[in-house]
Amino acid sequence: MSASTTTPDATPPRRRRLLEESPRFADSFGLVLVLLVASYFVVAAAGDSNAGRIVSMLIFATTTWLALRASQVKRRVLRVALALIPLATIIAIVLVLIGNEDTAFIVNKVLTILLVVVAPVAILKRLVEHPVISLNTFYGAVCVYLLIAMFFASAYSLVAILSGHQFFAQLAGVAPKDTPAIDYLYFSFVTITTTGYGDFTAVTSVGRMTAVLEAIFGQLYLITVVALVVQNLGQKSRLGRRMEEELQKKGDADAADAADAAASADVAASSAADE
């Protein structure tokens, strides 16, 4: 007669509870990174046609939602984003289809700003909360680096539109709103990586200073945040060490309480035996 045996779950109760409470796509920064890279190629391949703008808006909206989901923002913020992102995307798509390009352009920029401003802040906040510096931490840091480049690409476009002058010296005669979005994105990545091909150069003083700021900020981010993450991969973060110390103190206190209870039980048993 054979008895069936079940293997007990070796996962600690606290970790098992955290895993059960973690939402879907939590810390999925690798997937966010893939979507970001894919969005660049989509923008390059689709161009500024109506179909290209619609596809770009859809992938930007998806990336924004996933970045907020992976960052485990508060549920109230996630609900607002879940309502705002699809609504803004639908409005922008409808405006593109009916030919209202100016309003569609503004709504599209709102979506882009939501991605390049809100998402990096949410990701960085989540990375600081990682108890162990893992590959997901590294992926998240790289996502922020790419989003910084997207932020400056949007800033260059905004500088051109607000000034009413063409941003690039090589595109003189082209209206700012007719400048392809991929040109701003390309120039931003060439600048943040300090590659400097020279095929696009800023013509205005504000544009030049913005490019200098991006180059400096991009390099500082690489040599500080990304370098520290790579150097400490697999190690506990400051938060992780603090959590471990608190758990150890709690474990020591529980052990002391158990010892006191055992000693009291022994005394009670000895008293009962003497009687």
| Residue 248, in any domain of the structure | no
**3-class SS at 225?**
helix
| Residue 261, in any domain of the structure | no
Number of independent structural domains in the chain: 1
| Residue 66, in any domain of the structure | yes
User: Measured between alpha carbons, how far is 275 from 273 in angstroms, rounded to an integer?
Assistant: 5
| Residue 130, in any domain of the structure | yes
Range of the domain at 220: 24-233
| Residue 251, in any domain of the structure | no
pLDDT tens track, the chain, 275 positions: 444 444 444 545 544 444 445 567 788 899 999 999 998 888 888 877 777 778 888 888 888 888 888 888 888 877 887 788 888 788 878 877 887 666 666 777 777 777 788 888 889 888 888 888 889 999 999 999 999 999 999 889 888 888 888 999 999 888 888 888 899 999 999 999 999 888 999 998 999 999 999 999 999 999 999 998 988 888 877 665 666 666 666 655 555 555 555 545 554 555 555 55
| Residue 193, in any domain of the structure | yes
Does the pTM of the predicted model rise above 0.85? no
| Residue 18, in any domain of the structure | no
| Residue 267, in any domain of the structure | no
